[in-house]
Structure 1
Amino acid sequence: MVRPGKKLLFAVTSLFVAVLTTAVAAPPATSAPAGKVLGYFAEWGVYDRNYHVKNIETSGSAERLTHVDYAFGNVTNGQCAIGDSYAAYDKFYDAAGSVDGVADTWDAGALRGNFGQLKRLKKLHPNLKVLYSFGGWTWSSGFSQAARNPTAFANSCYQLLNDPRWAGLFDGIDIDWEYPNACGITCDSSGAAALKNLLAALRAKFGNKLISAAISGDGTSGGKLDAADYAGAVRYADWFNVMTYDYFGAWAATGPTAPHSPLTSYGGIPTAGFYSDAAIQKLRSKGVPAGKLLLGIGFYGRGWTGVSQSAPGGSATGAAPGKYEAGVEDYNVLKTKCPATGTVAGTAYAKCGNEWWSYDTPGTIKGKVEYTRKRGLGGDFFWELSKDTAGGELIRALTS
C-alpha cells in the first residue's frame, strides 16, 4: 500500500515521465501484433481467372485472413489513382455471384464491383481489415514522381481511399514500390530517403490508419535492401511485407534450375543472399523490429523446360509453359500437373517430363510459419488468393 504522502510524489513523478516520454516519442504508428495472415486480392482476377470476392468466402479463406491487400491502384502524375474502375466499383454481381447472396442494383450512387463485394465481406467478417495497395511491378515507375512531392501524393491517396462512394471500405494503404532508389521495371534514383519521406507524409495524413509497404527480399551485400533507409521508413509503417520469393526463375533461360522461394541457403545456390532468412536477418541488423516484418510466400511456382536433372542446379532451354505467363504457374494447377518430387532449403521442387518447377506446398508452408514464429515476426503474407485451390488448401496450411 502507498501512503498518501507518497501518492502525490508518485503522481508528480509519473507526470514528469509522461511529459518527457511524449517529447522524445517516435512518430505515431500503430503496433504490429504477431499472427497476421495477409493475402493479396488481384483486381484483374475477375476476368480470365474468374476469381471474385465471393471465392474468398466460399474457399473458407475469409475466416482465416486478418488482412486483405487490394492490388493494385496506379501511381500516375505523382498521385494515387484507380487501376481498373470497372472491376473496382462498377461490375455488376447478381445474387449467385455476390458474397452475401444479394444482387447489386443499378440505382444511382450504388456501389458495385470488387469494392462493393469487399464491403459486404467485411460485414460478414467484422475483424477483417482491407488495405488498398498501390504500385506493383508494372506501376512502380510512378513512385519516382510521387517522391518529389510526398505531401501531394499522400493527399491524393487519402482522398481516393475516403471517397464517399466506398466510405468505410479501406482500413489503410499499402505501398508496393519496386524498388526505391534501385531498379525494377525501371530504375529509380530518388535517393535513400525517398521511401521514408513518402511513408512519413502518409502517416501525417492518415493518422492511425494502417500503413504498410511491400519491400525487396534481396539479402545480398550492396543489394536493394541497402539502397534505401528501411530502418527510417519503418518508423512510419505498421509493417513491411518482405517479398521473399522470385529469387530465381526462367529469366535465366538456360538455368541453373533453382527454387524461387528458398527459406535458407543451400549448397549450389546460384546467388549468395538470395533467400528469405538472409533478407530477414539483414533487415533486423538494420534495426527493423521483427514484429514489423511479414514473411512472403508465393502461391505459385516458377519453372523451366528442357531439363533432365531432377535435383536443383540443372541446365534448361527456356521457360516452361504457363497458362498466363511462360515460366509461371498457379499452385492449384501444379499440384496435379507436376507434383512435388523433393524439397530444398525449406521449399519444394518438382520434375515432370522435361519440366522443372519450384513452389511451396502445405508442408513447406508449415515450415515457413514455424520460422515466422521462432523469429518473432509479425506474421505471413502471400501472393495471391486466386492461385490457391478452391478449398483454400494453402491458406489452411498457413493457419493450421
Structure 2
Amino acid sequence: MTLGLSLGLLSGVGQAAAPAESQGAAATTATAEYTKVSDWGTGFEGKWTIKNTGDAPLDGWTIEWTFPADTKVTSAWDATVTNSGTTWTAEDKGWNGSIAPGASVSFGFNGTGGGSATDCTLNGASCDGTQPGDQAPSAPGTPTASDVTDTGVKLSWTAATDDKGVKNYDVLRDGQQVATVEGLNYTDSGLKPGTDYAYTVRARDTADQTGPSSGVRQVRTTGGEDPPTGDKVKLGYFTNWGVYQRDYHVKDLVTSGTAEKITHINYAFGNVQNGRCTIGDSFADYEKTYSAEESVDGKGDTWDQPLRGNFNQLRKLKEKYPHIKILYSFGGWTWSGGFGDAMKNPAAFADSCYKLVEDERWADVFDGIDLDWEYPNACGKSCDSSGPAVMRDMMKAFRDRFGQDNLVTAAITADASDGGKIDKADYAGGARYSDWYNVMTYDFFGAWDAQGPTAPHSPLTSYPGIPQQGFNSDAAIQKLKAKGIDSEKLLLGIGFYGRGWTGVTQKEPGGSATGPAPGKYEQGIDDYKELKGRCPANGKVAGTAYAHCGKEWWSYDTPETVAGKMDYVKRQGLGGSFAWEFSGDAGGELMSAIDRGLR
C-alpha cells in the first residue's frame, strides 16, 4: 500500500516563503511518499520518504499528517514523532535534516490501527504536488512496438496528463534519451540487427517539468546471425525479503523480460543454525498467497493448496521457462555466523541441507545448493577460525551428499590483497567439488569509511590512487586462477546497486566526504533503478561508472560498463557472470546487458 504525496517548498525552514527568483536563489521542491511497509493485523510498520527534487538544498523538515482516531504511532526511528489528537508531527533528527538536490531521507515507525495517512503538509506547505497549477505530468502508457526491422522499430504510447498540458515526450533507449517528440509515436533507426533494446517514454509539460517514466518495452530487432547462447552462466539472486518493502516478486522476472535472459537463479537466503540448514522466512518462502494478477501463470493461490509463496511461483516460472535452474542459497552476510559451528560435523551439516532442499513439498523447484559463507577462516560480520581446510572439507561434504546430478556452488570473497581473505582458506581445494564459484567482485569500497576517500565499489581493474591494492575484480580473478582454479569455475559478480557518500565536492574518485549518502532503504547504498535517474553517471574509472551530483558521490555499473565487464569474462574464459540482486534492476536493463555480452 503506497500513498504518494508531493510537497512544494519555495524556501527552507524559518525563511519567508517568497519566490526563489526574487531571492536570487534556486527553488527547493520535494516529494514525500508514505508507505505501509508491513501489516500484521494488530499493527503495522509505516515509512515516510522525503526526496529533494529541486536544485537547492532542503535544510530541515517537519511533516504533519492525520491518522484516523483508532490509529496511533507506538514507536519511531530517524525522526521525532508526536501528536495532538489525530494530527501527527514528525521532525528531523538534525543529522538527517539537510537533503541535497536529488537526495532523499526516510524515517519509519510502528503503529496500531488502520494506518491511512491524509492531510499531509511539509514545513507548512500543502502536500498536493509543488504549488497549485504546478503539477508534473503523469506517466505515459507503456510503449507498444510495431514495424520491427533489422535496424528500426516504431513505438507508440498513450498520452500522459498534466494540469498545464503536455508539451512533448522524451524517448529513452536503454536508459539514454534518444529523441524528444510532440506526438504519441516515434520510429527509432540506426539499430543493430538481432539486438535487444529496452524503451521507456516520459512526458514533459509546458513548464518543462518531466514526469515519471512509462513501463519498459523490450524489443529485439530482426536479422543478424542468431548468436549462439553458448554455455556461459547468467545467474541472478532473488531475495525472499524483496517481496515486502521492495515489492519485487517472481512475476517481475517475466514482465521485465529477465526470465528469458538468465540461466540460473539463486534463491536467498536459507539460514544456518545449530549445525544445520533451516528455512529463512517461511511466510515469503512458502506461505504467502498470490492472486491471479500477481501470479506467474495468471492463476491465484487457494488457501488449502500445499505450497504457496515464492517456492510455488518459482515452480511456475520453471514450467514457463524450463531452461532455468534454481539453487537454494544459504548464509549470506547476516546468516554466515552459523557455518563454523555446523562444520564441526560436515557430513551432518550437508545431510540437513540436503533434506531441506529436497523436501517433498518443493523438491522439484530446486536443482542444487549454493553456500554463501562470509568468510571461512576469516572475518566478516563475525570471525571464524576453523582453519584453511574448512572450505575444501565443506565443498567435499556437500558434493558427497548432493551427488553429481545436483549443482553445488559457493559465493566467495574477492579480497586479493596480500594475506587477505582469498589466502585464508583452501578455495582451490574446494573448487574440485564445486560446479562454480560466485566471486563477489563488488563492495570493495564504501561509506563504512565515512570520510572517504571516495572510490568505486566494483572496479574491474586497479587505477592510480586506488585506496587498497588487491581490491579489484581482475586481481581477485588472477589470484584465484594462480591458485589452480579453472577459469570456467569462476563467475564475475555484478552489483545491481551503487554505494555512495555525501559531503563530497570532488567529482573524480579520491575525494573526502562527511558520511554515507542517503539511500531509499539504507544509508550509503541504493539500487541502480533509483540512481540512474536521480544521480546519473557522469564519469568512468577502472571499468565502472561513477556520479557526482550535488554533494553526493556514487559508483555503480551501467549497461555500458556491464558490457565491458562481459568482454572481460569472455577474454578470461570465465564460466559466466552473476548479479546481486534482481530487484535493483527492476526494468531488466543490466541483466539484458549481461545477456547480450555473453551471447
> Normalising to structure 1: TM-score of the pair?
0.91
Q: Is the 8 A contact 2:343 2:394 kept in 1?
A: yes
| Larger gyration radius, structure 1 or structure 2 | 2
Task: In structure 1, list runs of 5 or more residues that go unmatched.
Answer: 1-32
Matches within 5 A, 1:15-26: none
Verify: 1:161 aligned to 2:366, yes or no.
Answer: no
The whole-number CA distance in structure 1 between the counterparts of 2:276 and 2:284 is: 20
| Alignment match, 1:21 | none
Are 1:118 and 2:321 an aligned pair?
no
The alpha-carbon deviation at position 34 of structure 1 amounts to: 4.1
Structure 1 counterpart of 2:502, from 305, 308, 315: 305
Match of 1:282, SS?
helix
Q: In 1, are the aligned partners of 2:239 and 2:267 still within 8 Å (CA)?
A: yes
In structure 2, give the amino acid aligned to 1:296: G
RMSD: 0.7
Asked if residue 48 in structure 1 is aligned to residue 245 in structure 2, the reply is yes
Report the alpha carbon displacement of residue 190 of structure 1 after superposing the two structures with TM: 0.6
Match of 1:58 among 255, 259, 281: 255
Q: Equivalent of 1:194, from 372, 390, 412?
A: 390
- Counterpart contact for 1:34–1:291, Cα < 8 Å: no
Q: Which residue of 2 aligns with 1:331?
A: 528
Corresponding residue number in structure 1 for 2:346: 150
- Aligned to 1:151, what secondary structure does the other structure show? helix
Match status 1:212 vs 2:212? no
AA at the equivalent of 2:334 = T
2:570 — aligned with what?
Answer: 373
Kindly provide the CA deviation profile for residues 326-385 of structure 1, in whole angstroms up to 9, marking residues without a partner as x: 000000000001000100000000000000000000000000000000000000001000
2:478 aligned partner: 281
- The superposition leaves residues 154-197 of structure 1 with CA deviations (integer Å, 9 ceiling, x where unpaired) of 11001001111112110000000000000000000011011111
Which residue type is aligned with residue 364 of structure 2?
G
1:268-308 Cα shifts (integer Å, max 9, x gaps): 00000100000000000000000000000100000000000
Q: For residue 165 of structure 1, give the secondary structure of its aligned residue in structure 2.
A: coil
Does structure 2 conserve the Cα–Cα contact (< 8 Å) formed by 1:34 and 1:376? no
Q: Which residue of 2 aligns with 1:15?
A: none
* Deviation of the 1:107 alpha carbon: 1.9
Asked whether the 8 Å contact 2:327–2:366 carries over to 1, the reply is: yes
Residue 171 of structure 1 is aligned with which of 339, 356, 367?
Answer: 367
Once residues 284 and 390 of structure 2 are traced to their aligned partners in structure 1, the CA distance between those partners, rounded to angstroms, is 31
Whole-angstrom distance in 2 between the partners of 1:214 and 1:173: 11
* Length-normalised TM-score, structure 2: 0.61
Runs of 5+ consecutive residues of structure 2 not aligned to the other structure = 1-229
**Bigger fraction of residues in strand:** 2
* Aligned position for 2:14: none
Higher relative contact order structure (alpha carbons within 8 Å, sequence separation ≥ 6): 1
2:584 is aligned, of 374, 380, 387, to: 387
Are the aligned partners of 1:294 and 1:378 in contact in 2 as well (CA < 8 Å)? yes
- Match for 2:488 among 291, 312, 321? 291
Deviation at 1:389, TM superposition (A): 3.3
Contact 1:40–1:71 (Cα < 8 Å) also in 2: yes
Q: Which runs of 4+ in 1 moved over 2 A?
A: none
The 2-side partners of 1:34 and 1:137 are apart by 30
Q: Residue 79 of structure 1: which of 276, 281, 299 is its match? A: 276
Residue 129 of structure 1: which of 315, 318, 325 is its match?
A: 325
Residue 94 of structure 1 aligns with which residue? 291
**Equivalent-residue separation in structure 2 for 1:276 and 1:78 (angstroms):** 33
More helix by share: 1
CA contact (8 A) 1:243 1:296 kept: yes
